[in-house]
């Protein structure tokens, strides 16, 4: 069933929030380190249930040992597990990574495909991973619905959906396709730095006038400042008046 078309007021409010996010987080980007579509695919699979920092700590050794799909396809689970153990769920991830290497060799001549339907057919690859790879490795716009994006778009009442695919479909209706990838990065940065799951820093967030959930977090500006994570210049940007 297709989603109902969003109201004009919702579209305007959502796009205004995105404009503000661009000012608040001009440095938004994929925080996984990679040099090729293969490396980004592997890193994104490893990022499930852990931090990008943790992934970046293990991928240099992993890529030195298995620099391409051909090498990964011939790895043993124990070899991969020993390297990726710090990322958690390392046994399942190792199986997925080796399966990805084998599938890439068997079906794609060892290259990462640039089509969503081909990516999601790989072992352990869902739409979230596929959209990360498409957006950041191939420049194909996609909306990445991770835990941060899902939390924030529901707080902003852009959607009431819980299913990531339904969330992706509804958010896509609010923005031009060309904005999807950077929209995802900016929401993720805001979720990691300001709009936290347990105690968002509402008291210093410039989006409070646009946010239906602006009363859920810390209201005192001084206490809210201490909740903000990120570079010092982020606090300076947070204190600027909202742009019309």
Tell me how many degrees the CA angle 108-143-149 measures, rounded to the nearest 5: 130
Instruction: Give the C-alpha separation, 140 to 114, whole Å.
Output: 8
Catalytic residue among 27, 52, 93, 128: 128
Of 145, 210, 240, 194, residue with least CA distance to 15: 210
Residues in CB range of 6: below 8 A, 6 or more apart: 14, 170, 173, 174
Catalytic residue among 27, 93, 136, 146: 146
Would you call 146 a catalytic residue per the annotation?
Answer: yes
Instruction: Give the C-alpha separation, 107 to 44, whole Å.
Output: 20
How far is CA 211 from each of CA 14, 35, 65, 205, 236, rounded to the nearest angstrom? 10, 37, 47, 10, 20
Instruction: Give the C-alpha separation, 211 to 174, whole Å.
Output: 16
The residues that are catalytic are: 128, 146
């Amino acid at each position: 069933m297709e989603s109902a078309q969003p109201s004009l007021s919702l579209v305007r409010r959502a796009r205004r929030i995105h404009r503000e996010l661009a000012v608040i987080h001009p440095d938004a980007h994929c925080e996984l380190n990679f040099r090729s579509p293969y490396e980004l695919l592997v890193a994104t699979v490893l990022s499930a249930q852990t931090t990008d920092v943790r992934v970046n700590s293990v991928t240099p050794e992993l890529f030195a040992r298995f620099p391409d799909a051909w090498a990964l396809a011939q790895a043993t689970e124990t070899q991969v597990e020993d390297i990726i153990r710090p990322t958690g769920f390392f046994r399942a991830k190792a199986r997925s990574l080796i399966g990805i290497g084998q599938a890439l060799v068997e079906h794609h001549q060892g290259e990462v495909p640039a089509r969503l339907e081909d990516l999601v057919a790989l072992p352990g690859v869902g739409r979230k991973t596929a959209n990360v790879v498409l957006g950041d490795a191939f420049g194909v716009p996609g909306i990445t619905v991770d835990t941060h994006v899902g939390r924030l778009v529901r707080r902003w009442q852009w959607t009431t959906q819980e299913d990531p695919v339904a969330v992706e479909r509804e958010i896509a209706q609010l923005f031009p396709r060309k904005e999807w990838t950077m929209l995802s990065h900016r929401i993720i940065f805001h979720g990691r730095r300001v709009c936290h799951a347990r105690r968002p820093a509402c008291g210093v967030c410039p989006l409070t006038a646009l946010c239906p959930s602006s009363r859920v977090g810390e209201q005192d500006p001084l206490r809210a400042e201490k909740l903000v994570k990120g570079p010092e210049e982020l606090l300076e940007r947070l204190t600027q008046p909202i742009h019309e």
